[in-house]
Structure 1
């Protein structure tokens, strides 16, 4: 006969950093071979090659990681890919020359620029059907969505405007006059401000997203092109094609805080690591990538890659940069710790852009209890941990429970389809035990760890 004794504890729950995130999948558009190469980032090998429509331009992946959408500029379609099987499950007809595609944060709608039709298609992702076609300005170039998912902003190159779309109604709220030849647009992480590069007026327009008014125009270098904002929202970096510089804009004052000279010709496309520490920059005319330290705004490395580097992508753990090299059908893999190329991967013809899957979110609402199973000859002291699944993002398939912050001492695993509970048996009395629980997705991608201590 045994007796059960439950003791409810007050436990501290905190988020700690995971030491190793792995197995994200990178989806590469191969413009010349009408395919998508799927790269396993753990092994840096091509895991699958998927035939899609003509001239695939860009891939967007749903927040839950289950589906990838590909804009096929040459066939006026969007391909729908099941990321579990890496097969095309549907093909959606849209307007003429679809180029840029973005998905709302709730994963319900995709917006696709139809460049030749001066329109944007809204796709219902539950049914994979076009529910609205929204007229915008002349030659729409780029589209982005606010973090709250309520508004989409579209730059229109040949009408020198930005179209503002109400996502709830799929209608134009307003059209804003900006500089000449507006290109890229970036929105601060808090969603309050949008920044637009105007290539032919050498300025960046600043838009207040609450009022949808242009509040400032910032002079930068010659022919500003791409723009990206640091995760803390404090700095926007702008490539200046014809002055071979990068402008760093202080978003608090909307002024250029420093102009960074780079070693290459025509700096074009840039990405910032998710940890906010480094800007990586690709050039139009040379086979190099430059690394800029955001703390000092100094160039730290110039890295040789393949010819015609295109749209960069960085893994969620900030450890690896993937660079498609359009002129030799490869992807260069850069280790951000050393800023050296550690692998070169053969892909399809004319690789243009890369999108990398996200990692799942950590579990939350951790709770801990101690339990004693008393037998005739022994007492089994058990630590019992329960938790809740992430409320958004990629769905975990299992949870790993570790006994150390370094995530090397695995205590056990729990399937996401079972009760979210773990029991650790034969524990000592009057001892503090710490546990670190991470979510794992279908591809082996790990979240950061949620931690709990039981004493």
Structure 2
């Protein structure tokens, strides 16, 4: 597999998609004036298309405007929007992931069910062919490598939802104190969920809950001293952990972030093997196919930190969108990422 040549990054507040040379960090293209407000990003390699979720008219999970119901489709070569997918009656699409066989685009949705759930869009017909309620306001999710199960992180709900994608039903609830973006190990044996969610209960000690996917029971708890926004597993059996840090006097209403950290754990021992400082509020994580490079989207900083995972050193910091807009209450300048 050749190395990805391009890093694509969404600016939520900027309503844009930027393209960077993956070897140099140079800006190579920028698509502006996307529908408000783009959040997550997924790359469809066989079709060379990018899918962008539009969740709210403005704001974020805890404070936002009206719910959107659109996914934009972008040609990765021409860098132009070619079509949209209307998810009605479902709304609030956020997390995106493509099935292992590249046939279905999955998206969490916050409305259309009594609460929230997961929908599956056939990539040939672009029709919704699966709809699975999760009994919570789904925001993030992660798939097992075989494509048979999904786990939704419902942010403020006291559980992670286990969804059977073949039977299209809620299979189980795993008790947690709210949760952010989780991940599944490359062999599919374990799932990892950071808890609690930011702004839910800052006084609750943060942890990563380790779940045995054969039983969907928590088998280990890894304590942390600061909050966690996301975890991601690399091809080299390392767990990337996006840790956020707050200024003194921060509260659930006013987070006041300061530069965060990327912490790396060994996936077998769950011991720390390194860490580096990154930007403000590291929200999303990616890694290169060879597992040697990590990418951290710092949503309030408007940057992406590119990390050499072998040397545990920052290779470069890419500016995506660091200038707040006067018409936006929150500056969220780097969100979803994709490697092309």
TM-score where L is the length of structure 1: 0.56
Are 1:175 and 2:152 matched, yes or no?
A: no
Give 1:293's aligned residue.
266
Are 1:320 and 2:293 matched, yes or no?
A: yes
1:57 deviates by: 1.3
Gaps of 5+ in 2: 57-67, 197-203, 247-259, 322-331
CA contact (8 A) 2:72 2:81 kept: yes
1:120 deviates by: 4.6
CA contact (8 A) 1:63 1:106 kept: no
What aligned pairs does 1:71-220 form with structure 2 within 5 A after superposition?
71-74=53-56, 75-94=68-87, 95-118=90-113, 120-128=118-126, 130-132=127-129, 134=131, 136=133, 137-149=135-147, 162=161, 164=163, 173-179=168-174, 198-200=175-177
C-alpha distance 248-333 of structure 1, shift in aligned 2 (>3 A) = same
CA RMSD after TM alignment: 3.2
Distance 1:97 1:235 in 2: 28
Distance 1:133 1:233 in 2: 22
Distance 2:36 2:333 in 1: 13
Return the index of the structure with the highest Cα Rg: 1
Give 1:396's aligned residue.
none
Pick from 179, 184, 187 the counterpart of residue 232 of structure 1: 187
1:294 deviates by: 3.2
Distance 2:208 2:144 in 1: 25
- Greater CA drift, 84-93 or 110-119: 110-119
Distance 2:239 2:158 in 1: 31
TM-score where L is the length of structure 2: 0.72
Deviations 1:62-97 (A, max 9, x none): 242611111111342111011122221112222322
Deviations 1:22-43 (A, max 9, x none): 3442222211011112222122
1:345 deviates by: 0.7
Give 1:195's aligned residue.
none
Gaps of 5+ in 1: 1-17, 180-197, 201-222, 358-455
Distance 1:115 1:43 in 2: 38
1:104 deviates by: 2.5
1:174 deviates by: 3.3
C-alpha distance 309-147 of structure 1, shift in aligned 2 (>3 A) = closer
